[in-house]
Amino acid sequence: MILDLERALRSMRAARTHVTGILITVALAACSPAADDGSDVIAAPEGAAEGEDTAFAEAMTYRTRVVMLGTGNPNADPERSGPAVAVVVDDQAFIFDAGPGVVRRAAKAARDLEIPALGAARLNRVFITHLHSDHTLGLPDILLSPWVLDRPDRLQVVGPPGIDAMMSHIVMAYEADIDRRINGLEPRDANRDSYIPDVVETEGGVVYEEGEVRIEAIPITHGDWSFSFAYKVTGPDRTIVISGDAAPSEPIVEACDGCDVLVHEVYSGERFVTRPPEWQAYHSVFHTSPEQLVDIATRAGAQKLVLYHQLYWGTDDAGLLAEMRSAGWDGPLQSAVDLGVY
């Protein structure tokens, strides 16, 4: 084997940090040219649902924005990529989960929404909520595609225990590709080692603090997973909480505490009753119904509620919004679409 895979794995191990609820500050690798703040841009994505234009125009006035790269779940919905949420602060994107399609959705946001921080070669920070495949199938993509596209720096990966082994296995799985790209004819001198991820495993706590941005991993309940996180992003002008996959979880209420945007998963309560009993048992301990979400968002004092990872089971966005309203939510509300900005 020409590629020294052992060298890469040694380097990963050296870079690895295990964290248990303690503060760590990760040095931000300077890599991104200054970008404009995008505030002079255009319109919501073509085909966007009702209310998206307003949400988009409002969100683009902030320095801290949520850009939905993928609102999906394990269902292979062609309109919804796998779960991936970008929080963009000025010229830096923080990606939460890497569902399938993440790099191409980001490239589309960079091009069509004029958000240069989401350009493929700029994707260098990803935070994983939990290790379910729908949230991690895009990890090889976000590790390797930007590398091939000349990302100058390594991918910084934060996630629960097990993420380090997952990243090591991804590097091993692609060793033949990595070998050809390094030792073949591709010019690769400028970023030869940028395929090696820097991985931080956490059990919760502050996982990033740099400049005006602070990111906290919040342990929550997602069925029988030992570790599953929501993330709280405190930016210069807004605070965002992203649930990840979650059964009703009190820590999300505490973390939000009047947050500007609560991005939360949901399933249709009306259609839940049509599911087979064994699936009802599963969903009731892994996920959240509209009634439960209204209770969470109300007690959390969320200023704006954005539904994602929607499980429709035959209903649609309008149906889910109606369920939320009839359950008592009367605040600002969106059922997110891919490439929606909130």
Judged by the rule CB under 5 A, the positions of this chain that interact with Zn ion are 73, 132, 134, 245
- Secondary structure class of 20 (helix, strand, coil): coil
Q: For the CB of residue 137, give the shortest distance to Zn ion in the complex, in Å.
A: 11
Q: For the CB of residue 133, give the shortest distance to Zn ion in the complex, in Å.
A: 9
Question: How many other C-beta atoms can be found within 10 angstroms of the C-beta atom of residue 23?
Answer: 11
Closer Cβ to Zn ion, 73 or 168, answer by number: 73
Closer Cβ to Zn ion, 174 or 272, answer by number: 272
Q: For the CB of residue 311, give the shortest distance to Zn ion in the complex, in Å.
A: 9
Q: For the CB of residue 12, give the shortest distance to Zn ion in the complex, in Å.
A: 25
User: In sequence order, which residues have a C-beta less than 8 Å from that of residue 15 and are 6 or more positions away?
Assistant: 154, 196, 198, 199
Q: For the CB of residue 146, give the shortest distance to Zn ion in the complex, in Å.
A: 23
Q: For the CB of residue 49, give the shortest distance to Zn ion in the complex, in Å.
A: 21
d(CA 104, CA 145): 10
H/E stretch holding 266 reads: strand 261-267
d(CA 158, CA 209): 13
Which backbone phi and psi does 330 adopt, to 5 degrees?
-120, 10
Find out whether 49 and 335 touch, Cβ atoms under 8 Å: yes
- Burial (CB count within 10 angstroms: exposed 0-12, middle 13-18, buried 19+), residue 151: buried
d(CA 88, CA 59): 11
Question: Sign (positive/negative) of CA torsion 316, 110, 26, 211?
Answer: negative
Place of tokens 């946001």: 109
Closer Cβ to Zn ion, 153 or 265, answer by number: 265
d(CA 247, CA 309): 13
Closer Cβ to Zn ion, 56 or 267, answer by number: 267
Closer Cβ to Zn ion, 133 or 326, answer by number: 133
Closer Cβ to Zn ion, 194 or 228, answer by number: 228
Q: For the CB of residue 73, give the shortest distance to Zn ion in the complex, in Å.
A: 5
Closer Cβ to Zn ion, 147 or 267, answer by number: 267
The b-or-e profile of 93-129 (16+ CB within 10 A means b, else e) is bbbbbbbbbbbbbbbbbbeebbbbbbbbbbbbbbbbb
DSSP for residue 258: S
Q: For the CB of residue 222, give the shortest distance to Zn ion in the complex, in Å.
A: 6
Closer Cβ to Zn ion, 64 or 221, answer by number: 221
Structure tokens of 338?
A: 């891919």
